Structure 1
Amino acid sequence: MTGMFYGLGVGPGPAGLLPVASLDILRRVDHIFAPRSRVSETSVALEALRSLDFPRQRVREVEFLMDGDDRRIGQHYSALAREIAALGRQGQSVAYLTIGDAMTYSTLGYLVAALKREAPELPRRVLPGITSYATAAAMTGFALGEGKERVLILPCPDDLSTLTADIEHNDVVVLMKVGRRLNGVLDLLQNMNILEHCALAHRLGLDGEVVLPSLNVRPEAGRLGYLSVLLIRKHPPRRFS
């Protein structure tokens, strides 16, 4: 017998932002793998589900690896894929959780690729989730694209001159994975005189949530760069009379 693998995007945050199909899968699979950073006490993906009812005794937290070493990352997800494949060959189903959309800057992509190599016979289904930037745009009233505006989605570059060029060549920039670079990014936006057209969302739906529809009053960076998304607009949004 062959089981089934499901990749599920959850959250962001415990506000019920989970597709009905994903909730149905959570309630009936045999195993739920919840990734957790080695520096975190809890799985953020599980935090995003804390208000929902599903069999938590089936949850197993697993470490996720994103240390920049491609060889180590490959070995890590190959080992995890072999473990999931062994459960599948016993006829058991496995759901793997990831924050936001399942295939947008997600570690799930590494696992799906590893499953294709290690267990091509295992049926797989990936369900989309809701991105942090779509949630942030909805909460702040930030238009992600008007008319034929160019929208760029990217992880924050280390070289902020690259970000300057990205902003200059696009109308809207969605900036993810900001982390410790936030202060420098705020300096850049201030120098470009566009802070008031930008928005920031931090730890959406989680403890310590911060949602800023405008950065006209510059926030203190602190740890706001972690689990944050910046919505950057080069020009003010269009106004219709």
Structure 2
Amino acid sequence: MTGKLYAVGVGPGDPDLMTLKALKTIKNADCIACPESHGEPGVAYGIAKKAVPEIISKELLLLEFPMHKDDLSDAHNKAAEQIIYHLSSGKNVAFLTLGDPGIYSTFFHIAGMIKEQGYEFEIISGITSFSAASAKLNLPLSLGDESLMITSGMYCEFEGTLVIMKAGKKLKEIKGKAFAHNKLIYLVENCGMPDEKVYFDSQSIPDEAGYFSLVIVK
């Protein structure tokens, strides 16, 4: 009998925003897989631990994904092999992801390899950072027939609401382009985390912020 893989979205940072299905899946899993950071479980694990304290008693599989944009195929292959090893022994594995597994998640880089080997996987949706940021700002992302675009670190001239994820290193450029096009911009840094910062106007937004920085352009 083989195990099943679950991609579990733990939300943007506040453990209270984890879904009941995410909590149930983590509690029922035999093994918890998550990206590591300096040899320790990453941010997603820390969020899950606050909501499911018993997670610390479960087998932990740390996966190494270097933080650069070069070829990561070796890292993805190694992670898939590690997960398959546990699935082949009959263990159900919960792979923790920030936000939702379908939004810029590492999971889908390895899911295809695992599926090719005949193993099942299921996606457990999570609340996205831009949904949580919208709520924090009391700001609708779209109204009526207004369009919504989501990018990773890139400003695009767009008629609608633009969400820019991972925007921290490009804030100065984003502010300049938004000002040139008479757009309003908002920033939420570390949404839902203890060190969360919220900015409601371009004048107060710094030129650079941390990795988990999200800009909404209206």
Q: Structure 2 length as normaliser, TM-score? A: 0.90
Q: 1:216 to 1:232 in 2, by over 3 A?
A: same
Measure how far apart 1:41 and its partner are: 6.0
SS of residue matched to 1:96: strand
Q: 1:174 to 1:151 in 2, by over 3 A?
A: same
- Look up the match of 1:182: 171
- Look up the match of 1:99: 98
- Look up the match of 2:141: 144
Q: Which of 221, 228, 237 is the equivalent residue of 2:213?
A: 228
- Check if 1:199 corresponds to 2:200: no
- Look up the match of 1:154: 151
- Look up the match of 1:48: 47
- Check if 1:218 corresponds to 2:218: no
Q: Which of 121, 125, 135 is the equivalent residue of 2:122?
A: 125
Q: 1:187 to 1:225 in 2, by over 3 A?
A: farther
Residue 228 of structure 1 aligns with an amino acid whose one-letter code is: S
Which has the larger Rg?
A: 1
Measure how far apart 1:175 and its partner are: 0.6
Give the stretch that moved more between structures: 24-33 or 178-187: 178-187
Whether the 8 Å contact between 2:153 and 2:165 is mirrored in structure 1 is: yes
Structure 1: 5+ residue stretches without partners? 158-162, 234-241
Q: 1:19 to 1:51 in 2, by over 3 A?
A: same
- Look up the match of 1:64: 65
Q: 1:50 to 1:230 in 2, by over 3 A?
A: same
For these two proteins, the number of residue pairs brought into alignment is 216
Whether the 8 Å contact between 1:14 and 1:51 is mirrored in structure 2 is: no
Q: Aligned residues: percent identity? A: 27
Two-structure CA RMSD over aligned residues (Å): 1.9
CA distance in 2 between counterparts of 1:19 and 1:230 reads 24
